A = this chain, B = another copy of it.
Amino acid sequence: MKYRHRLREPVRRFVVIGHKATTSPDFSLKDIPGTSGRLDVLLRCVRSALLVSHGLRQDTELYLLLLGGLDAPKAIRFRGQGLRFLNPDERSTAALVQKALATPTTGPVWQPATPGVEVAAVGVAEVLDPLAQRGVYVLEEDGADVRSLPFEERDNTFIVGDHLGFTRDEQALFLKLEAKPMSVGPVSLHADDAITLVHNELDRRKL
């Protein structure tokens, strides 16, 4: 396991669900919120999940679930280890996502788009099922405080909703996967802020 640890296997995983987010690269960089099904909400999560001051979070993996548009679902996976061409600004992240969405997908096989970015035609269940062996937490306002949770394992998955919350089907899936409801504080925040707060808690515990 030491060898795997040196290779910096992902130990923090974030899954962000964009219920209306487009699966097509044909959105306008001049009006991302208005033309992409609020993909901007997810783009901001890319920065907060993967970037720190002057660097990348090598141990982090981020899944963006795009459930809007004609060829939904699609998922884009970002891996801090090996990730390139990611800048903190929203527009350049949008261009990176456009490249991923222009990459042909054939079912559940992850297709490389750019270094550290892959895309597959998979939905919430297909992304979460292989991760359910680890600790799975779902960000909810009435969940247990992130500061009070034990996090016995290093390898954890955190599910974050967009501005629309979660559907009943998703909630049923979370229940099946025994995902633990978790809150980051008393105020309801944007998805990217929630990710920042989870990272901070894990940084403090050196997890």
Residue of B nearest to A190 (CB): B53
Tell which of B40, B47, B190, B196 touches A52, judged by Cβ atoms closer than 8 Å.
B190
**Copies of this chain, whole number:** 2
On whether the beta carbons of B185 and A200 are closer than 8 Å, the reply is yes
A21 / chain B contacts, CB cutoff of 8 Å: none
Residue of B nearest to A92 (CB): B33
On whether the beta carbons of A91 and B90 are closer than 8 Å, the reply is yes
Give residues of chain A (175-207) contacting chain B, Cβ–Cβ below 8 Å: 184-190, 193, 196-197, 199-200, 203-204, 206
On whether the beta carbons of B163 and A53 are closer than 8 Å, the reply is yes
On whether the beta carbons of B186 and A54 are closer than 8 Å, the reply is no
A186 / chain B contacts, CB cutoff of 8 Å: 203-204, 206
- Residue positions of A touching B, CB distance < 8 A: 29-33, 40-41, 44, 47-48, 51-54, 87-92, 163, 184-190, 193, 196-197, 199-200, 203-204, 206
A-B interface, 7 closest residue pairs, ranked by CB to CB distance from nearest? A53-B188, A90-B90, A40-B89, A193-B196, A187-B203, A196-B196, A185-B200
